[in-house]
Amino acid sequence: MDIKKILAELTLEEKAGLCSGDDFWHLKGVERLGVPSVMICDGPNGLRKQNQAQDNLGINDSIRAVCYPSACATACSFDPALMYRMGEALGKECQAEEIAVLLGPGANIKRSPLCGRNFEYFSEDPYLSSQMASAFIQGVQSQGVGTSLKHFLANNQEHRRLTVDAQIDERTLREIYLASFETAVQSGKPWTVMCSYNRLNGEYVSQDRRVLTDILREEWGFDGMVVSDWSAVNDRVKGLLAGLDLEMPTSYGVNDQQIVEAVRSGSLKEEVLDAAVERILTLINRHQEQRRPQTVFSMEEHHALAREIERESIVLLKNEDGLLPLSKQGNIAFLGRFAETPRFQGGGSAHVNACKVVGALEAAERDVNIRYAPAYSLTNENEDGALLAEAVKVAKEADCAVIFAGLPDSFESEGFDRTHMDLPENQNRLIQEVCRVQPNTVVVLHNGAPVCMPWIAQVKAVLEAYLGGQAVGEAVVDILFGAANPCGHLAESFPIKLSDNPSYLNFPGEKDRVEYREGIFVGYRYYDKKEIEVLFPFGHGLSYTEFEISNLRLSAKKIREDEPLTVTARVKNIGARAGKAVVQLYVRDVHSTVIRPDKELKGFRKVFLEAGEETEVTFPLNRRAFSYYNTEICDWHVESGEFEILLGQSSREPAVRDSIEVEGIVSLPKHYDRNSTLGDLLCDEHARPIIQKLMKEVGMDKQQADFKLGEGAAQMKMASVYGMPLHKLVSSCDRKVTWEEIGAVLKDLGGSL
């Protein structure tokens, strides 16, 4: 396709028309110029290709497709290579179905456990989220199919998502919410980015030039197409000016007409429209050049991959007395409807018409004798006495009870948020009653986000399966009976109770305004800093074997911020079975003058080790690992000083640590005026002699010399001198300093009165 030539031949109306969809899933084509209409579809954990009735909420039917585990699960694999393979498989499926772009992955941060769509997102941590999203994108796109990184930006709740205004300060945006997309854009290089519905600091993201152009394109180098979330356009012309290329789905010509009129009236330069059209044509061309409609794939093989991915993602949260893995010979009870019909995916646009679903009961019964009781109703939370009694009886007669619990569809979905973190009442009751008669109780959870576990002390083992895709039952059985060794680690913290969560007081906001008052303290950044006990910390995950991390080495004891650092350590499988360890690297700024989290994830490695085997893991770190975002210089900044490198298997248990001295090379601008404190001035090498001289002249140096640390009064005096603004010297000393003298000092320091 000769894009420039086509662009030159298109009429204004055709160009405006190309900027919105033809219907729900197709871009428009231009037949007379040989531009085809291409199809895109949801995403992200399976294809939701709708051939007939179309919708964005997963209500109408779509083709039969493989349903892979949702991002809430896959993030726990801590395995970008696995994400890449999942992407590759989805890419093949898209090729076979002639899909140009798969709408995903979602890289929004899990700000609150209540967000109804958390199941579609990876993590509360931007580093992990961005790494996983990036691998997914690369996997899909390796097959010549595009992705749409979504929902950019700050779409962290479903409540009033079309209108809510997220108020987020710049540092928080940069360190948390933008960071979750940044690597995904820069290394993943998605063909498209989908803007979100909401407003951010007063402006709809769909028409926010700073977000869609200044940051996305100019700072991060994004060269693809920006598409609106479905019906996210507010003012179409403003959107174009901001960098929103394609509106989806169709606006039935209404917004196209606005574009035409704006160009005619001169309020929209035709070059802006041309740039958008060129990006849309580039996307269509990419698809044309790389389409392979003859692609075939085996649903069985992809089902097996879905099983493998889930197996690698399930998190063993608790395993007292080594209850798991279970012996196949035992007399085992499976309790709960989810054993038979698991909840394996979330509701809304990500909802896939799964080609087959295997529950744990069906999978286990292939070679284990199981007694099953449905145990609870999914439609009525008020416990059903007969179902409960039967389940308790079955549990009592067994050697071990495995309860399949979790959230029904009505509890969490796209479109609304949860209002609490509880499991349905009947399920909590079931677990408690079963624990009374059966000491060996295991709970398997099917949920898209953390739940409260009032029964945690009574159960011996908990497996977090999340929304594990169509093969979840087989994967759970693989883990329960030890065919596979659990190796998932939590990509989010599990608070003990909802009110512990940092966003609790400001979620989902008032009317159309939500203030992110917790700032950068999201997830473990908050729990760790506040030393709040959690149910399970970020990064936690047990195994049937044990690993030892040792021999931490840093390539240098001191570096300049622009020098690389390599961190190396040994990991040994000291247990009796083969397994995979997830080694996590956190960085802590030991003495910071800015408020920073206790530690932040800056690297992770997943390694397979036979029993007794050991290996070395290596992490390259660059300046970003040590920086925070400084709003004064509008850039990342490294403060000179000591940083700790912590390696462990969860955020709460560093196994080894070492320190590095990092020298920051960018000094921050200093602004002095009449209100600058003597303390600040005395801390500045350049200002110190000047101020000391001035203090000497007015006799304040003597007062200072009298101060003896440790004495309350002296401390107080010292503090009052340090906290004194410069201008006070004019009126609070025996020998008065004149305004002229203050002015001269400030001039010397590059400031002014």
395 counts as binding ligand BGC under rule CB under 6 A: no
- Quick one: how many helices (H) and strands (E) in the chain? 23, 29
- Strands 600-609 and 654-663, bridge-based pairing: unpaired
Nearest residue (CB) to ligand BGC, 43 versus 502: 43
| Residue nearer to ligand BGC on the CB measure, 56 or 143 | 56
Nearest-approach distance from CB 230 to ligand BGC, in angstroms:
4
Q: Which of 349, 441, 447, 630 binds ligand BGC (CB under 6 A)?
A: 349
Helix, strand, or coil here: 79?
coil
Number of residues in contact with ligand BGC, rule: CB under 6 A?
9
Q: Residue 403: beta bridge partners?
A: 335, 443
Residue (43 or 424) nearer to ligand BGC, CB: 43
What minimum distance in Å lies between the beta carbon of 156 and ligand BGC? 13
Least distance between ligand BGC and beta carbon 40 (Å): 9
Q: Are 409 and 343 in contact (CB under 8 A)?
A: yes
| Furthest-apart CA atoms within the chain: distance in Å | 95
Contact positions with ligand BGC (CB under 6 A) in 133-152? 150-151
Contact 717, 703 (CB under 8 A): yes
By the 8 A CB rule, do 162 and 127 touch?
Answer: no
Comparing C-alpha atoms, which of 629, 589, 622 is closest to residue 603? 622
User: What is the nearest approach in angstroms of ligand BGC to the Cβ of residue 306?
Assistant: 20
Nearer to ligand BGC, 27 or 332 (CB): 27
Residue whose CB is less far from ligand BGC, 103 or 137 = 103
Binding mask 297-336 for ligand BGC (x = CB under 6 A): ----------------------------------------
Q: How far lies 157's CA from each of 328, 566, 574, in Å? A: 43, 38, 43
Catalytic-labelled residue, pool 229, 256, 478, 598: 229
* Residue of 16, 76, 103, 107 that binds ligand BGC (CB under 6 A): 103
Query: Is residue 304 a contact partner of residue 471, using CB atoms and an 8 Å limit?
Result: yes
Q: Give least dist CB 56 to ligand BGC, A.
A: 3
Q: Which of 119, 136, 222, 230 binds ligand BGC (CB under 6 A)?
A: 230
Q: Which is nearer to ligand BGC, 106 or 597 (CB)?
A: 106
Please report how close the Cβ of residue 120 comes to ligand BGC at its closest, in angstroms. 7
Q: Does 584 bind ligand BGC (CB under 6 A)?
A: no
> With binding defined as CB under 6 A, does residue 280 bind ligand BGC?
no
CA distance 730 to 472: 75
Interacting positions 150-179 with ligand BGC (CB under 6 A):
150-151
Q: How far is the CB of 119 from ligand BGC (least distance, A)?
A: 12
Sequence letter at residue 216: L
What SS3 class is residue 494?
A: strand
| Phi-psi category of residue 112: left, alpha or beta, with phi > 0 → left and psi -120 to 50 → alpha | beta
Q: Residue 132, class by beta-carbon neighbours within 10 Å (0-12 exposed, 13-18 middle, 19+ buried)?
A: buried
Give the chain's radius of gyration (CA, Å): 29
Amino acid occupying residue 492: E
Residue 42 binding ligand BGC, by CB under 6 A: yes
Distance CA 734, CA 744 (A): 20
Residue 229 binding ligand BGC, by CB under 6 A: yes
Per the annotation, the verdict on 673 as an active-site residue is: no
Bridging pattern class, strands 654-663 and 641-648: antiparallel
56 binds ligand BGC (CB under 6 A): yes
Nearer of residues 120 and 383 to ligand BGC, judged by Cβ: 120
462 touches 318 (CB < 8 A): yes
Residue numbers of the site for ligand BGC (CB under 6 A)?
Answer: 42-43, 56, 103, 150-151, 229-230, 349
Residues designated catalytic: 229
